Amino acid sequence: MEKGKILINLVFRGKVPGDGGEVNDALRQVLKMKGPVFLRLSRNPTPLLFKESSKLKIGKIRKITSGNDVTIAVTGIPTYMAVEAEKLLRKEGIKAELLEISTVKPLDKEVLIALAKKTGKLLTVEEHSVIGGMGSACAETLDAVKAANALAVLGTESPDIESYFGTGLVTEALKRTGKRLLPVIAVQTSASSGAHLTKYSNITDPMAGQKKLIVDDAVIPANPVFDYSVTASMPLALTIDGALDGIAHCLEVFYGASEESYAQTAELAETAIELVVKYSNQVVTDPGNLEGREAIGLATDLGGYAIMVGGTNGAHLTSFSLVDVTSHGRACGIMNPYYTVFFAPTIEKKLRIIGAIYAKYGYIIKDLQTLSGRELGIAVAEGMLAFNKAIGSPARLGELPGFTDAHFTRALQAAKNPQLKMKLQNMPVALTADEVDEYMGPILEAAKTGDLSLIKNFT
């Protein structure tokens, strides 16, 4: 079987039955399939929920109840708990549209989106990590659409997504074939990555626990839409994660900016980072605060614009290796203070601008004007870490459940991957693959323990 066919089978066939009857259906269907199939089961006893005549249909969503107040999408063993929860909600006058998603790959996205639009709210319930499960499958649609667009148009050129990871490879294939990507209307529903604006498509490889990246102007959505008020329907944790990602985009681009792009990136960074630092606590205190949510939404849009002007670097590079233990924004929020200390001697002017924002809102007490070089970097990093703690976000890798030294190895290996070479080159202290272990290793160790003194500056 050719490589492309194996990839399709691995990626698009995943089943998570909700009761014993569906297990029987799934096993019968799996035995008839060609190629690898993932079937996720649990040992916990669960009651039968569906009639024998109601068969599991691959790739189709099962509607259990109808309602107009909230859409609940459930998969696997929690299906029974979701059914019971729906009954309790109904007693409280809340009518839920309860959906069972027994096939997570392929995900019936068109039906899911239509039913989510019906209520304007989507809650996902699953026995899984927030990273790489059904929730992320529902939330990562924009990046997935960008990659799927390339495959749909260029599949006859190469049906393997690996062919397009890197910089400009989609554009090169379009030139060779004379084809054009399909126009995309991208509607952003959470203050997050700016995926509706950017040339990036982040795709998670769940087998390797590693994100991979398409970087190409060709995948920029033709028609981006973002109504900031819709973020009020998103979980607070997702909003804070997006806020940290917005900081990361502007900060990393500014840190790596040349003299030619300094003024533009400084304005972006000052505006967006201050919006996040000023308003995040207000949103944490009152998740319904629309002024705060609009501010964070604007900041993340500015972050999306920033990465069209320049490139992200250290924290983003490391975050791609942490997908199985934390979300992307939190990973960047942890790592950027530690990279700040590493970069400090070469970005003093930029650090004074960033440090002034954190000092203005009480996160830095020291007089930054009396500090320089590494000491200035440490003071700014401490302010960034204090902000993380204030909004309930982790400040050390060691705080993440499931983090191990294996993540060190994965991150260092990823940094040497030619597909991610641009992240090393975008650093204000550019590293070669041969220098990764010597300088990034101590940064990761410091991020694990919180000990900034472990970081080694480039000489």
391-404 pLDDT per residue, tens: 999 999 999 999 99
Contact 78, 103 (CB under 8 A): no
The number of folded domains in the chain is 3
Distance CA 269, CA 278 (A): 14
Q: What letter would DSSP give residue 181?
A: P
Q: What is the CATH number of the domain that holds 61?
A: 3.40.50.920
Site of tokens 């659409």: 145
- pLDDT, position 13: 43
* Nearest residue to 188 (alpha-carbon basis) of 179, 199, 198, 178: 198
Residue 384 belongs to some domain of the structure: yes
Question: Distances from the Cα of 232 to the Cαs of 235, 238, 277, 293, in angstroms?
Answer: 8, 11, 18, 7
For residue 418, the SS3 value is helix
Q: Are 192 and 242 in contact (CB under 8 A)?
A: yes
pLDDT for the residue 25: 62
pLDDT value at residue 161: 83
Residues 343 and 199 in one domain: no
Q: What is the CATH number of the domain that holds 156?
A: 3.40.50.1970
- CA separation, residue 152 to residues 157, 167, 170, 179, 285 (Å): 10, 19, 12, 11, 44
Are residue 115 and residue 160 in the same domain, yes or no? no
- Give yes or no: residues 153 and 128 share one domain: no
CA distance linking residue 165 with residue 215, whole number of Å? 7
Return the pLDDT at 11.
32
Residue type, 13: R
- Tell me, yes or no, whether 132 and 217 share the same domain: no
246 & 350 share domain: yes
β-pairing verdict for 122-125 and 70-74: parallel
Identity of the residue numbered 178: G
The residue out of 97, 118, 139 marking a domain boundary is: 139
Instruction: Write the CA distances from 143 to 2, 137, 190, 202, integer angstroms.
Output: 26, 10, 13, 6
Shortest CA distance to 220 belongs to which of 143, 167, 162, 309? 143
Residue of 42 and 62 predicted with greater confidence: 62
Residue 411 counted as domain residue? yes
Segment 117-158, tens digit of pLDDT: 787 777 777 655 444 444 454 445 678 888 888 888 888 888
Residue 364 falls inside a structural domain: yes
- Which of 5, 12, 35, 320 has the alpha carbon at shortest distance from 160? 5
Instruction: Indicate whether 300 and 386 sit together in one domain.
Output: yes
How many residues are listed for the chain in this entry?
Answer: 459
Residue carrying the six token digits 């020291």: 366
Instruction: For residues 279 and 168, state if they share a domain.
Output: no
326 CB-near residues (< 8 Å, 6+ apart) = 131, 334, 394, 400
* Same domain? 121 vs 160: no
62: β partners: 100
pLDDT reported for residue 217: 92
Q: How big is the CA angle at 226 (ends 119 and 61), to the nearest 5 degrees?
A: 35
Q: Which two tokens stand for residue 412?
A: 């260092």
Rounded percentage of the chain residues whose pLDDT exceeds 70? 80
- Give dist(CA 134, CA 73) in Å, integer: 9
Task: Determine contact, residues 97/115, Cβ cutoff 8 Å.
Answer: yes
Q: Does some domain include residue 334?
A: yes
> Poorest-confidence range of 50-54, 55-59, 116-120, 446-450?
50-54
Kindly tell me if the per-residue pLDDT of 267 is higher than 70.
Answer: yes
* DSSP single-letter state for residue 430: -
Q: What is the pLDDT of residue 46?
A: 57
Q: Residue 346 belongs to a domain with what CATH number?
A: 1.20.1090.10
Higher pLDDT, 253 or 78: 253
Who has greater pLDDT, 221 or 192?
A: 221
Contact indicator for 79, 57 with CB cutoff of 8 Å: no
Q: What is the pLDDT of residue 330?
A: 94
Which of 139, 161, 194 is the C-terminal boundary of a domain? 139
Residue 260 dihedral angles phi and psi, to the nearest 5°: -65, -35
Q: CA–CA distance from 326 to each of 83, 334, 354 (Å)?
A: 29, 10, 25
Task: Please give the Cα distance from 184 to 200 (Å, whole number).
Answer: 14
pLDDT at position 417, please? 85
Q: Are residues 149 and 135 in the same domain?
A: no
Tokens in use for 408?
């060190």
**Same domain flag for 239 and 298:** yes
Could you tell me if 221 and 303 lie in one domain? no
Asked, for residue 20, whether it belongs to a domain, the answer is yes
Q: Is 459 inside a domain boundary? A: no
User: What is the residue range of 120's domain?
Assistant: 3-139
Whether residue 193 has pLDDT greater than 90: no
The winner for highest mean pLDDT among 241-245, 377-381, 416-420 is: 377-381
Mean pLDDT of 361-377: 96
Longest Cα separation, the chain: 76
Domain boundary among 181, 207, 226: 226
Residues 310 and 377 both lie in one domain: yes
According to the model, what pLDDT value does residue 57 have?
62
Asked, for residue 442, whether it belongs to a domain, the answer is yes
DSSP 457: -
Residue % of the chain over a pLDDT of 90? 44
Look up tokens 């949510």; give the residue.
293
Q: What is the dihedral of CA 310, 314, 320, 325, to 10 degrees?
A: -130
